[in-house]
Amino acid sequence: MVGIKKFARENIFHILILVFTGAVVLYQYKIEPLENERIYLRTIFPFFREVYDYSFGKLPFAFVYLLFGIVLLWLAKGAFDIVKFVKQRKFVTPILRFVSSVCWVYASFYFLWGLNYKNRPLQYQLNLPNITVDSTMVYEEAAHLIGVINEMRDSLSSDTCYLDITLYSPTTEDTIRQSLVSLLESWYLPHEGRVRVRTLKPKGILLRISTAGVYIPYAMEGHIDAGLPKLQWPFVMAHEMSHGYGITDEGECNFVATLACANSSDPYIQYSGLLAYWRYMANSLIRVAPSLGMKLVKMRSPSVKNDSESIINLLNTYPDIMPKVRDKVYDTYLKSNGVAAGAESYGTIINLMQRWKASSHNRPLFEKLYGVKEP
């Protein structure tokens, strides 16, 4: 008994981690979506959001670099402790500490952000109408928007070459955040805090796994690859910010990012968001209705065509590393967290945009994009 008490005292922190992890797992298993939105999304998560954003979020560099250093020190200390305990013939202690470390990684991921996977899909939170989307509907939408995009691109520059990167402003992150917060506020969704999106170097660190950006819950910040074509930065930044405000589904983040960019007062940001959405529609049509897809592609102005092709060429300079392994791992991760479509969820932006058009949300923005007062 004395030995057990001594063991417990020496490892109290690690035992508490096991208890905490058990509580998180039990919560995940028992909690209902509406209840989770009330307890976690609208109470616990905004608290963490504000505490982080107005402390570590003020750092002049990405916190993930500091986090990486902390992890390396933690691993080094763990290896040292294992050797020490094995020499002392204390075999239970290193096993406990290893298990508690794994549990801490799991529990902190969900407690800091991952419990948002338990929320209802955004379409239900916004009460979007249920409509059937077909290729003709997508074609008509894309055909209308390419006219808007062509005009928008001509207003940015008369030069048909790839859009000059100098149009990207240092204040873009703040401008996107203001637009996104305004959008979330109009939907009565949590918008507390000041989510940051940092640039990760070296170039290609994310693009080589076919990822333009990533939200890291442990760092509570979004990140984009420094090698990403500048024209894509606003859309990807808005996508990662959406994660930072508690939206987990990739397609939902694409949907929110499109509207946040379109809602902005900056025409460069508007162009980035609408072009990204249009490219999703064009690629979808090329797969399911090739004749419509090719007809649509020909509607691009020379400027938009050059911008689109330049994006592809720049991304091709960062070839994928083990794409099949990456796709399988990410697809499994998404499905294990309740995203039924897995990696295919990115494309649900098209369905969500059509349902948003048929809703009563954001009518001024609807009229701005489509020039009519009713969907």
User: In the listed set 55, 84, 118, which residue is the last one of a domain according to the structure?
Assistant: 118
| pLDDT at 345 exceeding the cut of 50 | no
In this structure, the answer to whether residues 87 and 187 fall within a common structural domain is: no
In this structure, the answer to whether residues 256 and 304 fall within a common structural domain is: yes
Question: Which has more confidence, 58 or 330?
Answer: 58
In this structure, the answer to whether residues 79 and 191 fall within a common structural domain is: no
| Domain encompassing residue 329 | 122-370
| 59-80 pLDDT per residue, tens | 999 999 999 999 999 888 878 8
In this structure, the answer to whether residues 56 and 160 fall within a common structural domain is: no
Q: With pLDDT > 90 as the criterion, what percentage of the chain qualifies?
A: 66
d(CA 306, CA 329): 34
Query: Per the structure block, which two tokens stand in for 119?
Result: 């929320």
Quick one: the chain helix, strand, coil %, rounded to 5?
A: 70, 5, 25
For residue 375, tell me if it sits in a domain.
Answer: no
Name residues whose C-beta falls within 8 Å of residue 365's C-beta, 6 or more positions apart in sequence: 259, 262, 263
Report pLDDT for 3. Answer: 61
In this structure, the answer to whether residues 247 and 171 fall within a common structural domain is: yes
Nearest to 125 by CA among 34, 209, 215, 47: 34
Half-sphere CA count of 53, side-chain side, radius 13 A? 18
What average pLDDT is seen over the chain?
88
In this structure, the answer to whether residues 185 and 81 fall within a common structural domain is: no
Minimum mean pLDDT range among 29-33, 103-107, 208-212, 266-270: 208-212
CB count within 10 Å of CB 160 equals: 15
Q: Using pLDDT thresholds of 50, 70 and 90, give the confidence band for residue 167.
A: confident
Where does residue 210 rank: exposed (0-12), middle (13-18), buried (19+ CB within 10 A)? middle
In this structure, the answer to whether residues 147 and 93 fall within a common structural domain is: no
In this structure, the answer to whether residues 45 and 135 fall within a common structural domain is: no
Sheet holding 197-200, edge to edge: 197-200, 221-225, 213-216
